[in-house]
């Protein structure tokens, strides 16, 4: 099996969204970075399925940290589509991934998160599948690779729908698919020397062109402080839930 | 003409409402097993100024397929459209993005619960021949373990402050007394204390309870994205500076391991 997992570097937001002065991005000076939660499960699943696992990210030079993190939990090598830090819309991200794959032997499986934590466009995986002429199944909570095909399940409000696709295929997954492992210290050491290819794609004109970000109103309520269980139960009774 | 995909649910009725503000609407749907690529091919073939759906699992998936087929941009989870300018949801609703949608037809989904629902009216069933692409083959019902998190009237949820899997005993007790469901934050799931099916948040379940009780949960934006559908939020936290208080209607400042059992005892007392 050869598996590609596409991931995205995103900030670890705390309790509050604070914008940078230009309103184009979050202020990240005091924030750490990770990959989207769904993608953590995609990488874990790829490592469990086994074979060669390649991780790919489109992002700034610093996204190498996130690719190394994935190599630390078992990915074999990385591909960084290096940008100057500007955001790319979903359409141009998908096109850059497809371009990068021309230089690669075909993969049996290409995994994505169902949507990124930050931009949440819900489309890069589906666009890549169409461009490569591959079947795609999205929103998965269970994946079983069988001889030449994959059987997978998707939540539909308290039930699961079952899908099958021939390999090669594109799959997008949701958190809850598995419980991702933490990288070990030896894993981190090994990751340092794993191969990382860097490509610099050209950012095309953005067709979903971000103008600015806005923090929605309504953050910052003043909670009424309750003293003790009697007051809490009185509130529950007033809400009709006690 | 605006083509709006509907599924006969509340979110679709909201999407139709949004679409009607743009122009005359043709509400369309499909019969038979869900086959995203085939359904999207049929949608993409319609003459339309805009193709719209609800920002649901299927709505977002279908529009992404349509966008790929037509090679057009697609704006997911839009809350407002003015000419070519959309306002759309990011970070599970913790942030909005204003963007210019340079495409024709305009492809967009409507963010859930941001528009009033309307009568859908007549719905046309479009034909979508099976093209061999993946489709929903069978439905497996999950064994229901009590009250579902999504629909529960009360959700009692624990975070890092609970401290261990065993610590959830007091949370389960209170949830049981209130006929509610147990929830948790992402930290708890990652630690393996509770299954992911209990997780409330941007990447977990989005709840719609009358009362959400957040015990020992700091209130990261990822968590609030799943909790804000609750009508009222009660935070129980030992830290009076915890971010959750900015999203809560009520708060008890104290150790959940004392406060939660005391609430359970008081409930039993008033019920006699």
Give me the total of CB pairs closer than 8 Å, taking one residue from chain A and one from chain B. Answer: 253
pLDDT at A220 > cutoff 80 = no
What is the percent of chain B where pLDDT is above 90? 97
What pLDDT, on the 0 to 100 scale, is given for residue B115? 94
pLDDT at A219 > cutoff 70 = no
**Is A33 exposed, middle or buried (CB count within 10 Å of its CB: 0-12, 13-18, 19+)?**
middle
ipTM of the assembly? 0.96
Flag if A17 and B221 touch (Cβ within 8 Å). yes
Closest chain A C-alpha to B119 CA, distance in angstroms: 24
What pLDDT, on the 0 to 100 scale, is given for residue B144? 61
- Residues B24-59 have pLDDT tens digits of 999 999 999 999 999 999 999 999 999 999 999 999
As a whole number of angstroms, the distance between CA A37 and CA A41 comes to: 7
Flag if B250 and A137 touch (Cβ within 8 Å). no
What is the percent of chain A where pLDDT is above 70? 99
Does CATH number 3.40.366.10 belong to domain A2-238? no
What pLDDT, on the 0 to 100 scale, is given for residue A157? 81
- Residues A27-72 have pLDDT tens digits of 999 999 999 999 999 999 999 999 999 999 999 999 999 999 999 9
Check: CB of residue A219 under 8 Å from CB of residue B247.
Answer: yes
What is the percent of chain A where pLDDT is above 90? 93
Between B34, B109, B203, which is nearest A175 by CB? B203
Residues of A in contact with B231 (CB under 8 A): 239
Assign A95 a pLDDT band (cuts: 50, 70, 90).
very high
Chain A, nearest residue to B99 by Cα: A210
Mutate to test the interface with B, among A166, A232, A234, A240 (most CBs of B within 10 A): A232
Angle between helices B57-70 and B10-20 (to 10 degrees): 50
Between B140, B220, B250, which is nearest A226 by CB? B250
Flag if A161 and B232 touch (Cβ within 8 Å). no
- Residues B108-138 have pLDDT tens digits of 999 999 999 999 999 999 999 999 999 999 9
What pLDDT, on the 0 to 100 scale, is given for residue B145? 65
Mean pLDDT of the A142-163 span = 94
- Please report the residues numbered 104 through 133 in chain B whose beta carbons come closer than 8 angstroms to any beta carbon of chain A: 109, 133
Cβ of B84 under 8 Å from any chain A Cβ? no
Chain B, nearest residue to A152 by Cα: B136
What pLDDT, on the 0 to 100 scale, is given for residue B142? 77
What pLDDT, on the 0 to 100 scale, is given for residue B195? 95
- Please report the residues numbered 47 through 106 in chain A whose beta carbons come closer than 8 angstroms to any beta carbon of chain B: 89-91, 94
Flag if A158 and B232 touch (Cβ within 8 Å). no
Taking 70 as the pLDDT cut, the residues of chain B under it are: 143-145
Assign A15 a pLDDT band (cuts: 50, 70, 90).
confident
- Please report the residues numbered 209 through 228 in chain A whose beta carbons come closer than 8 angstroms to any beta carbon of chain B: 209-216, 219-221, 223-228
Closest chain A C-alpha to B17 CA, distance in angstroms: 22
Closest chain A C-alpha to B74 CA, distance in angstroms: 7
Residues of B in contact with A136 (CB under 8 A): 36-37, 134
Average per-residue pLDDT for chain A: 96
Closest chain A C-alpha to B234 CA, distance in angstroms: 8
- Residues A154-201 have pLDDT tens digits of 999 879 999 999 999 999 999 999 999 999 999 999 999 999 999 999
Q: Domains, chain B, ranges and CATH?
A: 2-126 (3.40.50.620), 154-271 (3.40.50.1220)
Residues of A in contact with B159 (CB under 8 A): none
What pLDDT, on the 0 to 100 scale, is given for residue A91? 98
- Residues A114-134 have pLDDT tens digits of 999 999 999 999 999 999 999
């Amino acid at each position: 099996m050869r598996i590609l997992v596409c991931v995205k570097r995103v900030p670890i937001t705390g309790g509050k969204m604070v914008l940078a002065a230009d309103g184009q991005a979050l202020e990240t000076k005091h924030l750490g970075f990770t990959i989207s939660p769904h993608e953590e499960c995609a990488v874990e699943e790829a490592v469990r399925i086994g074979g060669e696992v390649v991780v790919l990210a489109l992002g700034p030079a610093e996204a190498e940290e996130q690719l190394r993190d994935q190599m630390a939990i078992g990915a074999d090598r990385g591909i960084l589509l290096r940008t100057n830090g500007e955001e790319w819309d979903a359409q141009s991200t998908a096109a850059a991934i497809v371009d990068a794959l021309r230089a690669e032997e075909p993969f049996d499986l290409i995994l994505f998160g169902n949507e990124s934590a930050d931009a949440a466009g819900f489309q890069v995986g589906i666009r890549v599948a169409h461009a490569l002429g591959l079947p795609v199944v999205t929103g998965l909570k269970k994946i079983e690779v069988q001889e030449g095909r994959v059987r997978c399940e998707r939540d539909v409000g308290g039930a699961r729908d079952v899908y099958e696709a021939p390999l090669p295929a594109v799959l997008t997954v949701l958190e809850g698919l598995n419980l991702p492992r933490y990288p070990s210290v030896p894993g981190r050491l090994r990751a340092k020397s794993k191969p990382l290819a860097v490509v610099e794609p050209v950012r095309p004109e953005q067709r979903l062109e971000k103008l600015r970000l806005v923090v929605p109103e309504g953050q910052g309520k003043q909670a009424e402080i309750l003293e003790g269980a009697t007051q809490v139960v009185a509130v529950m009774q007033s809400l009709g839930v006690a | 003409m605006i083509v709006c995909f509907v599924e006969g649910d509340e979110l679709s009725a909201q999407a139709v409402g949004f679409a009607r503000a743009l122009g005359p609407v043709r509400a369309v749907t499909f019969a038979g097993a869900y086959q995203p690529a085939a359904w999207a091919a049929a949608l993409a073939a319609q003459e339309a100024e805009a193709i719209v759906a609800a920002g649901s699992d299927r709505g977002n998936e279908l529009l992404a397929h349509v966008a790929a087929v037509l090679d057009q941009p697609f704006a997911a989870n839009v809350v407002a459209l003015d000419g070519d300018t959309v306002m759309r949801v990011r970070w599970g609703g913790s942030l909005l993005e204003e963007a210019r949608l340079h495409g024709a037809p305009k492809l967009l989904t409507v963010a859930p619960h941001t528009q009033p629902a309307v009568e859908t009216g007549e719905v046309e069933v479009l034909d979508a021949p099976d093209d061999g692409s993946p489709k929903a083959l069978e439905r497996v019902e999950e064994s229901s373990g009590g009250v579902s998190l999504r629909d529960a009237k009360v959700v009692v949820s624990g975070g890092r402050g609970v401290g261990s899997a065993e610590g959830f005993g007091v949370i389960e007790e209170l949830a049981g007394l209130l006929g509610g469901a147990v929830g948790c934050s992402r930290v708890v799931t990652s630690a393996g204390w509770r299954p992911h099916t209990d997780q409330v948040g941007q990447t977990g379940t989005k709840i719609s309870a009358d009362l959400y009780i957040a015990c020992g949960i700091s209130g990261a934006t990822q968590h609030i994205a799943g909790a804000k559908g609750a009508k009222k939020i009660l935070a129980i936290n030992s830290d009076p500076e915890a971010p959750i208080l900015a999203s809560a209607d009520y708060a008890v400042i104290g150790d959940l391991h004392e406060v939660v059992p005391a609430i359970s005892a008081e409930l039993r007392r008033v019920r006699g």
